[in-house]
Copies of this chain bind each other. A is one copy, B any other.
């Protein structure tokens, strides 16, 4: 399949505009805090949400709005998670109505997202004040929208691709925020993807539900599954391709394009994990089945001790073995091989579950890079998996020791 990276994030696909402004939700901050993404045409829309029993008010409202499989806009604030609030649903509905008032898109076609502190009362007032400016400035501003949904994120996470469906060029692009409280289960923090492909709501939901299993569900920063995770895709059909309404090559092309974007966003989220200095990728091969591969890969990138060792560029592979052992998967630990790899080279450290001699100096050089692959071969089958995480650093503690002030 021919998939080409292009610039533009959520504005790469035809008919989508975005904007982000500072309306003052977090009084003490000078950063943008309110984002809007709109489509010229009504879109097929699908989403997956956090598996946390505590769910944000925006998720409750978005679920209701997406019940008919369609949407046309996303409104999203940072600075307050709108979760565990007495007036949460009222605020989220109010945000939808503001979109209707200033863009004409029905409130029931609006996806709502919020990110920030849990359990603080929220007011609609700053958004009421900022909405005119936000709507008036809509344009090719994926970057402003991305900026407005970031919290402790330090770099923007966006991606877009061009691909073909039935000989017609389609585009698909997304933005993501997420840096802490990242251990998604069925979805991740906030990910907004747009496409101009024509696809039915049913096939879009299937693509989204399938995609998360090998994208956002394989990312972890800190093991904490957020209350607000939402991954939503809107496809407006403006590319003019034959509508994707069944399985087959066209659906596969769409799924591949979606995965190209989501994997890039996943790596971006992991690398920008709170306080992180390194992206860790566990490449798990030789598993008996896919479930084992995923469980083991995720256990490795979730291990606090492995994460801290990677921060220190310490080839302490025993911690990788330890994580494999407690992962819960059935593994013959006496068959396991482990290597570390980066732009600086590759070092084999464990064969058949036991240590082998290696140069500590060489290993250090490899682990001082900022993108590390942890290669694990279970030597028990043909299934594989990939999981993304980051190192555990002083700054993670600093950021989270006093997040609210």
Interface residues, chain A, with chain B CB atoms under 8 Å away: 50-55, 81, 83-86, 117-121, 180-181, 183, 185, 222-227, 302-305, 308-309, 311-312, 314, 316-319, 321-326, 330-331, 333, 350, 353-355, 392-394, 396-405
Closest residue of chain B to A399, judged by CB? Answer: B308
Q: State the CA gap A121–B303 with chains docked (Å).
A: 24
Q: Which of B117, B119, B305, B404 contacts A181 (CB 8 A)?
A: B305
Does A181 lie within 8 Å of B322, measured CB to CB?
Answer: yes
Closest residue of chain B to A181, judged by CB? Answer: B305
Does A84 lie within 8 Å of B355, measured CB to CB?
Answer: yes
Instruction: Describe A's contact surface by its main secondary structure.
Output: loop
Cβ contacts under 8 Å, A402 to chain B: 309, 312, 314
In the complex, the count of this chain's copies comes to 2
Known: A222-B305, A224-B323, A400-B305. A119 touches B354 (CB 8 A): yes
Cβ contacts under 8 Å, A120 to chain B: 318, 355
What are some 18 contacts across the A-B interface (CB < 8 A)?
A53-B324, A54-B322, A54-B325, A54-B326, A83-B318, A84-B321, A117-B318, A118-B321, A121-B355, A224-B305, A225-B325, A227-B321, A312-B400, A312-B403, A314-B404, A392-B397, A394-B397, A394-B398
Q: State the CA gap A86–B323 with chains docked (Å).
A: 20
Cβ contacts under 8 Å, A86 to chain B: 354
Does A318 lie within 8 Å of B392, measured CB to CB?
Answer: no
Cβ contacts under 8 Å, A226 to chain B: 322
Cβ contacts under 8 Å, A81 to chain B: 318
Does B326 lie within 8 Å of A224, measured CB to CB?
Answer: yes
Q: Which of B51, B83, B311 contacts A401 (CB 8 A)?
A: B311
Closest residue of chain B to A402, judged by CB? Answer: B312
Cβ contacts under 8 Å, A54 to chain B: 321-322, 324-326, 333, 353
**Residue in A86, A302, A309, A312 with the greatest tally of chain B CB atoms within 10 Å:** A312
Q: Which of B51, B303, B322, B355 contacts A326 (CB 8 A)?
A: B51
Closest 5 CB pairs of A and B: A118-B318, A312-B401, A54-B325, A308-B400, A225-B326
Cβ contacts under 8 Å, A303 to chain B: 223-224
Cβ contacts under 8 Å, A318 to chain B: 81, 83-84, 117-120, 227
Known: A325-B54, A403-B314, A404-B316. A304 touches B394 (CB 8 A): no
Q: State the CA gap A185–B328 with chains docked (Å).
A: 11
Cβ contacts under 8 Å, A304 to chain B: 222-224, 304, 396, 400
**Residue in A117, A319, A331 with the greatest tally of chain B CB atoms within 10 Å:** A319
Could you tell me the distance in whole angstroms from the C-beta of A153 to the nearest C-beta in chain B? Answer: 16
Q: State the CA gap A333–B309 with chains docked (Å).
A: 36
Q: State the CA gap A404–B392 with chains docked (Å).
A: 17
